[in-house]
Amino acid sequence: MVSATVGTGTALGAVLVSLLAAPAQAAAPAATGGADTERVAAAGALAAPDDAGLRKVLRTALTQGAPGAMARIDDNGTVHRLTEGVADRTTRRAISTKDRFRVGSVTKTFSAVVLLQLVDEGKLKLDRSVNSYLPGLLPDNGITVRHVLSHRSGLYDYTNDMFAQTVPGFEAVRNKVFGYRDLVKLSLKKPRTNAPGAAYAYSNTNFVVAGMLIEKLTGHPVATEYQNRIFEPLNLSETFYVHPGTAIPGRHANGYLTPDAAGAALVDATKQTVSWAQSAGAIISTAHDLDTFYSALIRGKLMSAAQLTQMRKWTTVNSTTSYGLGLRRRDLSCGVSVYGHTGTVQGYYTYAFTSKDGKRSLTALANTSNNTTVLNTMYATLESAFCGKPATKAAPRGSAPVERNENIAPGVARY
């Protein structure tokens, strides 16, 4: 079933600081070796969202194995809602843009926001050693907070071993509760991938360390800091951090994990602690709340202009993707850049991005994972949402770059 509605959206909730102008262009860090320019549309304005194109993307995801898929666009007061398929394979309830779901690595942006607020408060310095705040935690005093937040620490991603086999790995940790140090120790059993600052190498270990920094510097659990600093000020009433609880509260989309063996039955992965990720991936939210969050972030409502500039210092990942501090930038085929994060947790793929001015935001979800075909298909929601309709049938947009399941076990070649 497909549904689509367009209507008037609601305003953002209360904010932490007054609106601050985002920088026109963020400089690349030294590690990039040169300028890394953000792209803007030649005409200076975004084309209208392509709802028909979005419908096609969602329908295609279902043919590729997703039980359900949905997208919500908040476009400066106008809301586009599109859904396809089911939230629950047992009851056959249709998926809704109001459903809660596990956002996976989108959590990393929330963690980075808290740490950058602590920089604003004078409690943290980005270029100081992590060990100066967490003595003896890491084997190299040269690993800084900035390295951790930009995935340039060289810390090995323990999920490569944990989820080398997708379903057995998941079932082994589904109900397990880890301490942060347990996860860091798993990482340190393996050699580092590079010297501090030398290269981008995505690792969940980095944002486990980020969670430890939050708790050390504030004296509070990350749940308290997310709630007090982000959820409540932005009125994100559908956003939660329930670790180590296993249930998603209220109405939600179930998540279905695709086994490695072709043709094997999907595994309902909805109930889990997500303790293997915590501050790297355990937040629960909705499309509306994620649109609100990224819009507020890019509009400068969650930190000072100085720290937003730091967040948007980019390291090149590939020809279409750059990474800042807990923030991705995607350069689309129509000449615009969008800002947000992808999210993968067992049973869920999320894309949550906003425009350069924060006036148009998209959150798209497919309630499956470990299916790279679906992951690549859902990337096209960005093109439909921010580029609009292709100019002509004779000159279609370039094909989307191949997406990798980078957020979980990035070093495992599974597909």
Q: How many CB atoms lie within 10 A of CB 56?
A: 16
Contact yes or no for 41/331 (Cβ under 8 A): no
Contact yes or no for 227/114 (Cβ under 8 A): no
Place of tokens 């030294």: 30
Read off φ and ψ for residue 8, nearest 5 degrees: -95, 130
Contact yes or no for 46/388 (Cβ under 8 A): yes
**Beta pairing class for 68-75 and 360-366:** antiparallel
CA distance 186 to 182: 6
Contact yes or no for 211/281 (Cβ under 8 A): no
Torsion of CA 305, 205, 281, 245, to 10 degrees: -130
CA distance 331 to 39: 7
Q: Which of 96, 105, 153, 337 is catalytic?
A: 105
Please name which of 158, 150, 144, 149 lies closest in space to residue 196, comparing C-alpha atoms: 144
**Letter for the amino acid at 142?**
G
Place of tokens 């507020």: 296
CA distance 347 to 289: 20
Return the percent helix, strand and coil in the chain, to nearest 5.
30, 15, 50
CA distance 233 to 243: 21
Radius of gyration of the chain (CA): 20
CA distance 231 to 302: 11
Catalytic, 105? Answer yes
Q: Residue 169 belongs to what H/E stretch? A: helix 166-173
Dihedral angle sign, alpha carbons of residues 335, 338, 341, 343: negative
Catalytic residue numbers read 105
